[in-house]
Amino acid sequence: QLQLVESGGGLVQPGGSLRLSCAASGFTLRDDGISWFRQVPGKEREGVACISGSGRTAYYLHSVLDRFTIDRDNVGNVVYLKIVDLKPEDTAIYYCAGSAESFDTCSFDVVEMKYWGKGTPVTVSS
């Protein structure tokens, strides 16, 4: 079973920054689109950023466009999500997921995600 492992979450003060990592073990992410989602208890999971397998295409949730940056290291088999100027409303569990054979595009459609990580918690609080 393909699975991703997220890391890099934690407790951060408002205005701080984090870099989340999404790593694969035992398989390559090279051709797959990778998407980051976040979820707050009681709310639907929402896509915040995604990147194509090639790394040439990325999409963002409009409300985070100026603070979130997604990039990938296909040699290291890792996808990153950098978040700056963190706000309390960014508090959530952050998940990464892969959509197979998405070399030129990516998606926020959970139905297209073929494998997931278990999430890393981000708490923004003073």
HSE on the CB side for 120, CA within 13 Å? 19
Residue of higher predicted confidence among 101 and 103: 103
- Share above pLDDT 70 across residues of the chain, in percent, rounded to a whole number: 100
pLDDT value for 29: 86
HSE on the CB side for 76, CA within 13 Å? 9
CA dihedral (103, 106, 109, 113) in degrees, to 10, reads 40
pLDDT greater than 90 at residue 112: yes
Determine how β-strand 46-51 pairs with β-strand 33-39.
antiparallel
Nearest to 29 by CA among 71, 78, 81, 94: 78
pLDDT per residue as tens digits for the range 57-97? 999 999 999 999 999 998 889 999 999 999 999 999 999 99
**Once rounded to an integer, what is the mean pLDDT over residues 89-111?**
93
